[in-house]
Amino acid sequence: MSWTLHEPTLDVDAGLRPTHVKVDLDALADNLGAIQAHLGPQVQIMPVLKANAYGHGLVPVARLMERLGAPCLGLAYLEEGIRLRQAGLSVDMLVMGGILGSQIPLFLEHGLIITASSVDKLTAVEECAAAMGRRARVHLKVDTGMERLGVHWYSAEKLLEAALSLKHVQVEGIFTHLANADAADLSHSRLQLERFEQVLDFYPRHSLPTPLRHAANSGGVLQLPESWYDLVRPGILLFGVYPSPEVQRTIAVRPALEWLSRVVYFKVVEAGSPVSYGSTWAPDRRTRLVTVPVGYGDGYFRAMSDRAQVLLRGRRYPVVGRICMDQVMVDIGWDSAWNGDEVVLVGRRDGQEIGAEELAEWAGTIPYEVLTNINTRVPRVYRCERWPELTEQR
């Protein structure tokens, strides 16, 4: 099994960084296939790759999605799209975040699809496109109950009408975002979809073709077939992690990411001798501790202190004392361990598994934050048996 290093340029095999992430691109391909099989061929998938592809690495994952025929990639920020264009990707990309007027020329220069969430934004796009002699591509954003971005559903008709008169703007899509699609109670999501339907009725009422419609995030893909429309936007589900403990697991996916490190120190600690900053933990018996070079500076949350566990030699052991910026200590009792032994922070070994969901529980957060907070100083290495050229550095 071959693993290839990507940025940052640290050579794991040469011993420069024992803490690293492994990303299985074949698992991502399988997850995309499982989602498509669940949806059927009539619904397109726009993989959402914001926040460094949920910690998995933006450029390598985007290259895989382009190879797999994704019609469009979903991003949060302009700079993500520019980075992918600079890496040579030509696939369509929708930037779903809010925009400033000064950014519009860059959207047009790099061929990125813009989210237009108000008449003023749409007018600014039209004026910039006219001045540059270009045609802008946009998706209209409707707020149906998230109160984040988008025109309210009850005043959306003004935005839709304004779009009809523009000569340098092509409205390719219209979308909303579901606030609670990963919950057990789907009543609010269904209310949002009702509001979205009211907005969409504008097009048949005026005998106009309806743009590409989309609403479903990972929760919607799993639980709300009525939210699928023409296109869905899975994010965390694509990476093999379910968005919440409540969500129905109607699609079988597997994690694509492992977070690993190694033992770098071993010592015997006497009973009552406190460990780490603040002296919050001390053993009640003579014990063996190992030190692992990972910490909150890597995204291994300090909030998991005295709660987290790791896998070492196929067994679970507790992280003890406060998690430091660069190191953690693990109590292995009177078991044995050696410098260089693999430590699994996220992953599966010998029938044991620690998932991002479990780290989220220890940290009092959600798996999204666990994945996206793995710092960029942690090297990512990639495996892809189907298309090994995707792991080549470019």
Residue boundaries of the structural domains of the chain: 26-239, 257-377
CATH class held by domain 257-377: mainly beta
pLDDT attached to residue 6: 53
Average pLDDT value for residue range 87-96:
97
pLDDT attached to residue 22: 96
Query: CA 109 to CA 105: how far, in whole Å?
Result: 6
pLDDT attached to residue 13: 55
Residues 230-253: pLDDT tens digits? 999 999 999 999 999 999 999 999
Q: Which of 50, 54, 296, 368 is catalytic?
A: 50
Matching fold, domains 26-239 and 257-377 = no
pLDDT attached to residue 14: 52
Residue 10 pLDDT class (50, 70, 90 cuts): very low
Would you identify the CATH topology of the domain 26-239? TIM Barrel (3.20.20)
Residues 75-85: pLDDT tens digits? 999 999 999 99
Q: How many CB atoms lie within 10 A of CB 73?
A: 26
Q: Is the pLDDT of residue 118 over 90?
A: yes
First-residue to last-residue Cα distance in the chain? 21
Average pLDDT value for residue range 262-280:
97
pLDDT attached to residue 388: 85
Q: Which of 141, 167, 277, 317 is catalytic?
A: 277
pLDDT attached to residue 58: 97
Average pLDDT value for residue range 259-283:
97
Please state, for a pLDDT cut of 70, what percent of the chain lies above it. 95
Query: CA 269 to CA 292: how far, in whole Å?
Result: 16
Average pLDDT value for residue range 121-127:
96
The residue whose two tokens read 């992690």 is 241
pTM: 0.94
Residues 272-326: pLDDT tens digits? 999 999 999 999 999 999 999 999 999 999 999 999 999 999 999 999 999 999 9
Both tokens of residue 308? 């987290």
pLDDT attached to residue 393: 62
Q: Is 50 a catalytic residue?
A: yes
Three-state secondary structure string covering the chain: CCCEECCCCCCCCCCCCCCEEEEEHHHHHHHHHHHHHHHCCCCEECCECHHHHHCCCHHHHHHHHHHCCCCEEEECCHHHHHHHHHCCCCCEEEECCCCCHHHHHHHHHCCCEEEECCHHHHHHHHHHHHHHCCCEEEEEEEECCCCCCCEEHHHHHHHHHHHHCCCCEEEEEEECCCCCCCCCCCHHHHHHHHHHHHHHCHHHHCCCCCCEEEEECHHHHHHCHHHCCCEECCCHHHHCCCCCCCCCCCCCCCCCEEEEEECCEEEEECCCCCECHHHCECCCCCEEEEEECCCHHHCCCHHHCCCCEEEECCEEEEEECCCCCCCEEEECCCCCCCCCCEEEEEEEECCEEECHHHHHHHHCCCHHHHHHCCCCCCCEEEECCCCHHHHCCC
Q: Is 121 a catalytic residue?
A: no
Average pLDDT value for residue range 177-181:
98
pLDDT attached to residue 9: 42
Q: Is the pLDDT of residue 208 over 70?
A: yes
